[in-house]
Structures are given as C-alpha cells and as structure tokens.
Amino acid sequence: AADSSDPHVALFGVSLSGNVLLKYLGEAPDRVPAAVRCAISVNPPIDLVMGCESIASRANRIYDRYFTGILVKHLEAWWQVRPDAVRPAETTRPRTLRQFDDWFTAPAIGYRDALEYYRHSSAAQFIPAIRVPTTIITSRDDPFVPFEMFAADRVAYPDCVQLLATDQGGHVGFIGQTGDDPDNRWLDWRVVEIIDSRL
C-alpha cells in the first residue's frame, strides 16, 4: 500500500475530458504534481477540428443536434441560477455543436471563434511534451473520433505515452466477450490493470 504521506494519483478522462487531460499533461509538464503517477485518456478527440467535422457529418447529424440541445438546456438552466453569468450577444439558438461553440464557448473563454478555440485546445500538439506515463485508449470504429487523428504522422508520441487501439469499441463502448474477465466490461478492467501496474 502507498504511504499516505506520499500520495499516488491516477488521472482519468473520457471523450472531451480526455482531450483536456492530455492537454493539461503536455501544455505545462513542469506544473504537473509529482503525485501524478499515471493517466488514462479514453476516446479523446485530440484534433477538435477533425472531431467536429466528424460529428457534423451526415451519419452523425442526429447526435450533433441532440448534444447541442442538451448543452443549450444546461446553459439556460445555469442562467436561471446565475443571471449574471456570461451570455452570447447573438440571441438565435445554435443547432449544431460548431454553432454552439461559435455562439457561446469560444467567446466566453476569449477566443474569436470555434475554429480558433479548437486549434488552441486540441491535445495532439501537446502530447509530445507529456512526461507522465499515459495510456490513450481508442477504437478504430469510433463514430465521433476518427482514428486517423491518432496516426503517427500526425502526433509525435513520447515513450511514456502508449496508444491502445481496438478494432471495436465505438465511442466509449468497449464491451468484451465473456472470458477471463469477471464480466464483459472490457474498458473497466483495462483501466484497473493500468492503474494497478503504475501505482
């Protein structure tokens, strides 16, 4: 067991939070606490431009609009609680994630538009500087996060970053066949194994 005076921390992120995690680890590696012993990022859209184009595709349009609707509802609920919170100048409600990010996200955090926000916030450019042992788990059949964004000619992976790619798993699905694992939640057990091996 780890000594409580020397804490060991594992960081974990899924989808967009996985991108945020990788950006955090690589953007200022000197500021990552020594207690952070490993990180796991699952299906992270490390190229937000490519990810946004994928979710805006004809095959994913229904999800694009559904997710946008949820974001708008959450934002409107937040404004009820915090009437002083930042509000978009434009009153027309967005129908797509790209429109939402142009309408609210980018201006709220100081970017000119969604494209500038995506380019500055995509983790791929920060991965080469990561120093913490990190596993990126993704799937070649993810409908929202195209596998091409993980190609070695797009991302320079340091030795401490492992890319674990499966043929199937979709977007954070990863249900396995019954076998040696206690159940068929393949992803859950990989996460446990990775953390056990690092802490």
Say whether both 40 and 132 belong to one domain.
yes
Mean pLDDT of the chain: 92
pLDDT at 1 over 80: no
128-150 pLDDT per residue, tens: 999 999 999 999 999 999 999 99
Count up the domains in the chain and report the number: 2
Same domain for 62 and 33 = no
Beta-carbon neighbour count of residue 147 at 10 Å? Answer: 13
Check residue 145 and give its pLDDT: 96
Tell me the per-residue pLDDT of 63-95, one tens digit each, with 9 for 90 and over: 999 999 999 999 999 999 998 888 888 788 999
Long-range contacts formed by 57-60: CB under 8 A, 24+ apart: 59/143, 60/143, 60/144
Domain-embedded: residue 4: no
Bridge-based pairing of strands 36-42 and 9-14 is parallel
Give yes or no: residues 193 and 127 share one domain: yes
Q: Is residue 161 part of a domain?
A: yes
Domain presence at residue 3: no
Residues 100, 112, single domain; the answer is yes
Is 165 within a domain? yes
Both 177 and 115 in a single domain? no
* Domain residue limits at 178: 9-47+122-198
Asked if residue 144 and residue 97 are part of one domain, the reply reads no
Alpha helices by DSSP H, listed for 101-185, are: 106-108, 114-121
Task: Please check whether residues 155 and 68 belong to one and the same domain.
Answer: no
| Claim to verify: residue 129 and residue 43 sit in the same structural domain | yes
Last residue of a domain, one of 119, 136, 155: 119
Give the pLDDT score at 3: 52
Residues 158 and 175 grouped into a single domain: yes
Residue 109 and residue 16 share a domain? no
User: Are residues 157 and 133 part of one domain?
Assistant: yes
Residue 182 has pLDDT above 70, yes or no: no
d(CA 148, CA 55): 15
pLDDT of residue 185: 80
133 belongs to a structural domain? yes
Last residue of a domain, one of 119, 150, 166: 119
**Is this structure's pTM higher than 0.85?**
yes
Domain membership flag for residue 97: yes
3-class SS letters over 7-27: CCEEEEEECHHHHHHHHHHHH
pLDDT in tens, 23-44: 999 999 999 999 999 999 999 9
Domain boundary residue, one of 95, 119, 143 = 119
Residues 34 and 126 in one domain: yes
Q: What is the CATH number of the domain that holds 181?
A: 3.40.50.1820
The reported pLDDT for the residue numbered 89 is 80
